[in-house]
C-alpha cells in the first residue's frame, strides 16, 4: 500500500471534490482517481459514495480516516526528520525560487554564495510562489524566493529583494497597443492569456480584473511565459504578466503596456520565523539583504 495514496485520500476526504483535491496535490484528476482506486483495491472496500458533483465518505471511509490522518502525519514527520538530518550531514541549503531568478539578479546572489562557501551545497528548486509557500510551511525547503502582492500575509520572515508591476501584452495591431498606459477595465472585451490556474499570478490577475469591474474571459493558460508571448504575437488575446521578465527578453513583435493604477508585486526571500539559522544560512540572508 502506497503511503502517498493515503495522504491523497486525506486531502480528498477534506475537500469532497476531485478537482480541488488534485489542485492542492499538484496532480491531474485522472492520476488522483487511479490512486484512490488502487488504495480501495488494497483495502478491499470502497471509501466514498460518489455523486455527479461531490463525493462523500461512506462508512468504511469514515472508519479509515482517523488512521489515515495519523499515517499521513507520521510520514510528514519522519520525512522531515530524515531530510533535515541528511542536509545537516551534507551541508545542504534547500532553496525554492520562482522561475524568473535571473531577471531579478537572484542567480547572482546564489552564485556568489556558492563561490564563497565551497563546503555547502545549494539545492535549488523552481516552483510557483503558492507551491513554495506550502513547501516552506512543511519544512521541505529552508528558504523561498516568492512573489507576493501588497496584501500578503506576514507568517514568514521576509527580506524584500525587488518589486515589479503588472503589464498588458498586446499584438502590435491592438487598438490600445500604442498607449503609454491603460486601465485594466479597458480590456474587458478581450480574451486573456494567463499563467497556469494553480499559480499566484493567475489568482492576482483574476482578482484585479474583478476589482476593475469585470469577469475576465480566459482563453488560455500555460506555465511557460514564451507560450503566452507567442500567442499574443499571433493575435490570440492579451497577456497579463509582470513587466521586467518580458522586457528583458526584448520581444519586438508585441506591445508591452503599463497598467494603471500600478499593480505591484514584491519579490522576497522568506523563511520560517522560528528557524535557527546556521552560519552559512545567515551569510546567505545577509547577501540578500545587501541587494
H or E, element range at 75: helix 59-90
Give the pLDDT confidence score for residue 215 in this predicted structure.
96
- Of 198, 163, 92, 161, the C-alpha closest to 206 is 198
Residues contacting residue 148 through CB under 8 Å, at least 6 positions apart? 129, 200, 265, 266, 268
**Are 87-161+267-289 and 163-265 the same fold in CATH?**
yes
CATH architecture of the domain with residue range 87-161+267-289: 3-Layer(aba) Sandwich (3.40)
What does each of the 291 residues of the chain score in pLDDT, given as a tens digit?
788 899 999 999 998 888 888 888 888 888 899 999 999 999 999 999 887 667 889 999 999 999 999 998 888 888 877 766 655 555 688 999 998 888 888 999 999 998 888 778 889 999 999 899 999 988 899 999 999 875 555 688 999 999 999 999 999 999 999 998 999 999 999 999 999 998 999 999 999 999 999 999 999 999 888 899 999 999 999 999 999 888 876 677 899 999 999 999 999 999 998 888 888 888 899 999 887
The pLDDT value given to residue 26? 82
| Start-to-end Cα distance in the chain | 48
Alpha carbon 40 to its chain's center? 31
* Cα dihedral 183, 189, 191, 196 sign: positive
pLDDT at res. 180: 87
- For domain 3-73, the CATH architecture is Orthogonal Bundle (1.10)
What is the CATH code of the structural domain delimited by 163-265? 3.40.190.290
Q: Where are the domains of the chain?
A: 3-73, 87-161+267-289, 163-265
Please report the sign of the dihedral spanned by the C-alpha atoms of residue 212, residue 218, residue 224, residue 225.
negative
Q: What is the pLDDT of residue 39?
A: 92
What is the SS3 string spanning 238-280?
EEEEEHHHHHHHCCCCEEEEEECCCCEEEEEEEECCCCCCCHH
Angle at 83 between CA 82 and CA 84, to 5 degrees: 95
Nearest C-alpha neighbor of 105 from the set 271, 233, 267: 267
Amino acid at each position: 500500500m502506497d503511503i502517498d495514496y493515503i495522504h491523497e485520500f486525506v486531502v480528498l476526504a477534506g475537500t469532497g471534490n476531485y478537482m480541488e483535491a488534485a489542485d492542492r496535490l499538484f496532480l491531474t484528476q485522472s492520476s488522483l482517481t487511479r490512486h484512490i482506486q488502487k488504495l480501495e483495491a488494497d483495502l478491499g472496500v470502497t471509501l466514498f459514495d460518489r455523486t455527479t458533483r461531490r463525493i462523500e465518505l461512506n462508512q468504511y471511509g469514515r472508519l479509515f480516516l482517523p488512521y489515515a490522518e495519523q499515517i499521513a502525519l507520521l510520514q510528514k514527520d519522519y520525512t522531515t526528520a530524515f531530510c533535515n538530518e541528511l542536509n545537516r550531514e551534507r551541508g545542504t541549503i534547500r532553496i525554492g525560487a520562482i522561475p524568473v531568478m535571473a531577471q531579478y539578479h537572484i542567480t547572482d546572489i546564489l552564485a556568489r554564495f556558492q563561490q564563497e562557501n565551497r563546503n555547502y551545497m545549494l539545492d535549488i528548486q523552481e516552483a510557483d510562489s503558492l507551491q513554495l509557500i506550502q513547501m516552506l510551511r512543511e519544512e521541505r525547503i529552508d528558504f523561498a524566493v516568492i512573489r507576493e502582492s501588497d496584501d500578503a500575509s506576514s507568517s514568514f520572515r521576509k527580506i524584500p529583494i525587488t518589486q515589479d508591476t503588472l503589464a498588458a501584452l498586446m499584438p502590435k495591431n491592438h487598438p490600445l497597443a500604442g498607449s503609454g498606459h491603460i486601465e485594466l477595465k479597458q480590456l474587458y472585451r478581450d480574451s486573456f492569456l494567463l499563467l497556469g490556474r494553480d499559480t499566484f499570478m493567475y489568482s492576482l490577475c483574476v482578482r484585479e480584473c474583478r476589482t476593475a469591474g469585470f469577469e475576465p474571459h480566459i482563453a488560455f493558460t500555460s506555465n511557460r511565459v514564451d507560450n503566452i508571448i507567442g500567442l499574443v504575437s499571433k493575435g490570440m488575446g492579451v497577456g497579463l504578466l509582470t513587466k521586467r521578465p518580458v522586457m528583458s527578453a526584448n520581444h519586438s513583435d508585441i506591445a508591452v503596456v503599463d497598467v494603471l493604477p500600478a499593480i505591484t508585486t514584491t519579490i522576497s526571500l522568506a523563511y520560517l520565523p522560528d528557524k535557527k539559522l546556521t552560519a552559512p544560512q545567515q551569510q546567505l540572508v545577509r547577501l540578500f539583504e545587501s541587494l
